[in-house]
Amino acid sequence: MANPLLQYGYLQLLDLLTTLAFLLHGVQEGNPVVRIAMALLPHPIWGLVAVKCAALGLGIYCWWNAKFRLLDRVNLMFAVLIAWNLVALILGTVFHNRLA
């Protein structure tokens, strides 16, 4: 099985990319912490990247302290979230194209 920290980092990257896809389609960020970070920094993408860097720091902390079970649970949650984001993006695009 792959290293849970590597999985975590990969899932954080995928979450960043799906969030960017939503933003490019005019959908606002749903997480209030990310929304605040995006508003406080000079460019919204910097806020998003700052939150993802903080999340990576938490992942490294968990890995360093052998919290592998916690990392596995968070990885599962992010995998489900990313799958949901992709389904929402695809359905949103399909419905938008049908209305156009």
Burial degree of 3 (CB within 10 A; 0-12, 13-18, 19+): exposed
> Is the confidence at residue 26, as pLDDT, over 60?
yes
Please give the residue range of the domain that contains residue 11. 4-99
**Overall number of domains in the chain:** 1
pLDDT digits (tens, 9 = 90+) for 5-14: 999 999 999 9
> What would the pLDDT profile of 48-95 be if each residue is shown by its tens digit?
999 999 999 999 999 999 999 999 999 999 999 999 999 999 998 888
Q: Is 9 helix (H, G, I), strand (E, B) or coil?
A: helix
With a CB cutoff of 8 Å and minimum separation 6, the contacts of 46 are: none
CA distance 39 to 36: 5
